[in-house]
């Protein structure tokens, strides 16, 4: 890129810092370095890259086709057409909008856990359960804590929690339960594995549940937040959760201690 007319460099070994984006110049997102955008008078094109997979979107079909042609001239690539499957996420279109779900992933995970013939659960976790690194004996009046033996196969618990974490990308309804179980990766017990399997039985009830990106445009951001004071029985820290909606579409959420 050449310097604009009338601008003189202060030295040969210096570079110029771009403060504002220029039309036609691709920009790398500061929040996600695999996300690129290009703004022009004809429209905006957004490119998301993950290893050898690429997702192209924009508000101008002409600009999208032009971008595809430019990429095909520079790299060997295969055009798979309209988006239906990307990084384990399935996309379904309707008059209501675009639904993102992981039905195939959820069914495979349920089968892998050996719960294909199990009875589905109505909730991911019992609200009265307070998981700790120890469990108490309810037969004793003062609820004396007793030590639980660790799981024999701790690696199995680790794998299951990792896969459940990936499932939360389209299932915010299990975020709280999964973040709770993630706190016991270092020394999981049988009680923790029982709750993890309950989450799987809950997923089995509706494996295709996901997120709807509404086709109705409403330029409004709505936020919901809640906190449960000192609810963690181990550290007495509070657990907070939030969700952010753009129009009728859920775009961000989190559950965190």
DSSP string, 169-187: TT-GGGHHHHHHHGGGSSS
Q: Please tell me the distance from the alpha carbon of residue 47 to that of residue 37, in angstroms, as a whole number.
A: 6
pLDDT at 105: 94
pLDDT at 108: 93
pLDDT at 52: 86
Is residue 183 left, alpha or beta, with left meaning phi > 0 and alpha meaning psi from -120 to 50? alpha
pLDDT at 140: 45
- Averaged over successive runs of 10 residues, the pLDDT of the chain (257 residues) comes to 66 65 61 85 90 90 91 89 90 93 94 90 84 56 56 90 94 92 89 92 93 93 90 79 94 90
pLDDT at 159: 94
In Å, how far are 39, 154, 157, 162, 233 from 115, measured between CA atoms?
A: 49, 19, 15, 18, 30
pLDDT at 137: 45
184: CB partners within 8 A, 6+ apart: 131, 133, 192
Task: Supply the pTM of this predicted model.
Answer: 0.74
pLDDT at 158: 94
pLDDT at 132: 73
Strand pairing class (53-58; 210-214)? unpaired
Residue 146's beta-bridge partner residues? 135
């Amino acid at each position: 890129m050449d310097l604009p007319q009338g601008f003189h460099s202060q030295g040969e070994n210096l570079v110029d810092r771009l403060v504002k984006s220029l039309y036609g110049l691709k920009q790398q997102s500061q929040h996600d370095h695999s996300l690129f955008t290009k703004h022009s008078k004809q429209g905006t094109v957004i490119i998301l890259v993950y290893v050898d997979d690429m997702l192209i979107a924009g508000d101008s079909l002409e600009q999208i086709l032009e971008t595809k042609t430019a990429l095909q001239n520079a790299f060997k690539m295969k055009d798979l057409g309209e988006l239906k499957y990307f990084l384990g996420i399935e996309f379904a279109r309707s008059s209501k909008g675009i639904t993102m779900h992981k039905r195939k992933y959820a069914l495979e995970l349920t089968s892998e856990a050996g719960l294909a013939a199990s009875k589905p659960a109505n909730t991911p976790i019992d609200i009265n359960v307070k998981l700790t690194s120890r469990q108490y004996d309810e037969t004793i009046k003062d609820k004396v804590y007793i030590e639980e033996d660790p799981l024999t196969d701790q690696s199995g618990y680790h794998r299951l929690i990792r896969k459940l974490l990936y499932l939360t990308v389209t299932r915010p309804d299990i975020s709280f339960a999964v973040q709770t179980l993630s706190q016991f990766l270092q020394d999981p017990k049988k009680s923790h594995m029982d709750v993890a399997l309950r989450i799987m039985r809950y997923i089995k009830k509706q494996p295709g549940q996901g997120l709807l990106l509404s086709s109705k445009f409403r330029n409004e951001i709505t936020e919901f937040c809640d906190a449960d004071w000192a609810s963690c029985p181990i550290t007495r820290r509070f657990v907070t959760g939030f969700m952010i909606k753009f129009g009728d579409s859920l775009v961000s959420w989190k559950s965190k201690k």
